[in-house]
């Protein structure tokens, strides 16, 4: 499906179409598409509506290349015309249930971005394999903050592979853990 004109898709279609893109065309991401994607993150819910995040948009080639090296040498990170670093401002906050709130808050916000990217005809790939200290250094992020993910963003150059997912019966239980 070609969604490059920003056509409207239903959420089930967006979820089905979303995939990890590891090859990008040498094409700039138009500002209006980028703003749409960033607005999707801005609208995401967060614990206490604190919105405890910053999203650093990186377009500069040398910085993208440095981020690619910091991301276990994954060259496709630098190949994307945009890399967004999702940063937790208060990584020490923990919800009553014992889970760090930043992990949940930023997972929701970044997922909103990945789905908005699909609607805009763009691809992303959640990158968790990177050196926290190197990325902080490259982007000037204080030690008190945590980089949760790097999100390359651009027009996909690769062909989608079929998604392989476990059957629902294997991942869902009712009333108690089984």
Domain residue extents for the chain? 25-156
* Residues in the chain with pLDDT values less than 70: 1-8
What are the φ and ψ backbone dihedral angles of 41, each rounded to 5 degrees? -65, -40
Buried b (16+ CB within 10 A) or exposed e, 133-148: eebbebbebeeebbbb
CA distance 53 to 132: 16
Q: Give the helix/strand (H/E) hosting 136.
A: helix 132-139
CA distance 77 to 67: 7
pLDDT score for 128: 96
Q: Give the helix/strand (H/E) hosting 73.
A: none
| CA angle (9 as vertex; 20, 85 as ends), nearest 5 | 40
CA distance 93 to 96: 10
pTM: 0.91
For 25-156, which CATH superfamily applies? NADH Oxidase (3.40.109.10)
pLDDT score for 1: 44
pLDDT score for 7: 57
CA distance 91 to 38: 21
pLDDT score for 3: 47
């Amino acid at each position: 499906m070609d969604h490059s004109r920003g056509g409207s898709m239903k959420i089930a279609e967006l979820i089905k179409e979303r995939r990890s893109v590891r090859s990008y065309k040498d094409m700039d991401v138009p500002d209006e598409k980028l703003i749409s994607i960033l607005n999707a993150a801005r609208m995401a819910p967060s614990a206490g509506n604190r919105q405890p995040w910053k999203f650093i948009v990186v377009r500069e080639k040398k910085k993208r290349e440095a981020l690619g090296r910091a991301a276990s040498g994954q060259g496709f990170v630098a190949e994307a015309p945009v890399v967004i670093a999702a940063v937790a401002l208060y990584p020490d906050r923990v919800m009553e249930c014992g889970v760090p709130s930043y992990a949940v808050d930023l997972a929701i916000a970044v997922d909103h971005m990945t789905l908005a990217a699909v609607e805009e005809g763009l691809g992303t790939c959640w990158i968790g394999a990177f050196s926290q200290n190197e990325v902080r250094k490259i982007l000037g992020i204080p030690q008190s903050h945590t980089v949760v993910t790097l999100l390359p963003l651009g027009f996909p150059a690769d062909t989608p592979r079929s998604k392989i997912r476990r059957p629902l019966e294997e991942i869902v239980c009712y009333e108690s853990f089984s």
